[in-house]
Amino acid sequence: MVEVISVNIGFSILYLVRENNKYLLIDSGRPVSSRKLSKKLKKKKINPADISLIIVTHVHYDHVGNLKWLKEQSKAPVMVHIDEAGILERGEAPIPEGTTFLSKIISYLGKIVNPCSKYYPVKADILINEVCSLNDFGFTAAVIPTPGHTGGSISVIFGTGETFVGDTCFNLYWGKTVFPMFANDVPRLMRSWQTLIDSEARIFYPGHGKPFLKETLKSSLEVVNK
């Protein structure tokens, strides 16, 4: 059994998955002060030293904002898709394209205020470009490429069905569907949704919004494909 602990630092969520007394950290949230973050972790009874692996679902500033600090505290290796390692190492903060009227405006504004999206660059330790088992790290999980939101987006699927998708799915609407909202390549994203539907994934934990079940993703794909 795995235990999922979500730490919401306002706007973005980072996830800690506990298995056999080890933590896998997925994403690091938007940049906040180390004081605020350590307080949040303490409240959830998490010692960063117990984190044994860090996975970055994709390199956007709201997912790598505290990566440097968390890497230093945990001394854990950082895994990222090979296509985004350079962006992370240079500390660049690309803004994705919007796919709806509202998200197009947000994307446009984001590009104007891009200099505000600063984070400390990090050199990743493990670069992947295909399905990768996490068994050697002590987790019954695998990482799969799920491109579309960005070219190097990845998801983490645990054997028990808990699946961490970063921004491959946003769950920010009140209805019963999730929408792409932001994606550089929507057709590619839809193929990634299909991959997730066909996988062992059971419950999805997005980078923004509440967890949702596979049924929701299935019906959302039908709505988007209409």
| Contact residues for Zn ion, defined by CB under 5 A | 60, 62, 167, 207
User: At its nearest, how many Å lie between Zn ion and the CB of residue 208?
Assistant: 6
DSSP string of 89-127, one letter each residue: HHT----PPBSSHHHHHHHHHHHHTGGG--------SEE
User: At its nearest, how many Å lie between Zn ion and the CB of residue 47?
Assistant: 26
Q: Residue 60 and residue 84: Cα distance in Å, rounded? A: 10
Judged by beta carbon, residue 162 or residue 167, the one nearer Zn ion is: 167
User: Token digits for 161?
Assistant: 């069905």
**Which residues lie closer than 8 Å to 159 by C-beta, 6 or more apart?**
140, 141, 200
Q: Residue 159 and residue 163: Cα distance in Å, rounded? A: 9
Judged by beta carbon, residue 19 or residue 62, the one nearer Zn ion is: 62
Judged by beta carbon, residue 147 or residue 207, the one nearer Zn ion is: 207
- Kind and range of the H or E element at 42? helix 34-43
Judged by beta carbon, residue 62 or residue 84, the one nearer Zn ion is: 62
User: At its nearest, how many Å lie between Zn ion and the CB of residue 22?
Assistant: 26
Q: Residue 110 and residue 125: Cα distance in Å, rounded? A: 29
User: At its nearest, how many Å lie between Zn ion and the CB of residue 155?
Assistant: 13
Judged by beta carbon, residue 19 or residue 167, the one nearer Zn ion is: 167
User: At its nearest, how many Å lie between Zn ion and the CB of residue 182?
Assistant: 6
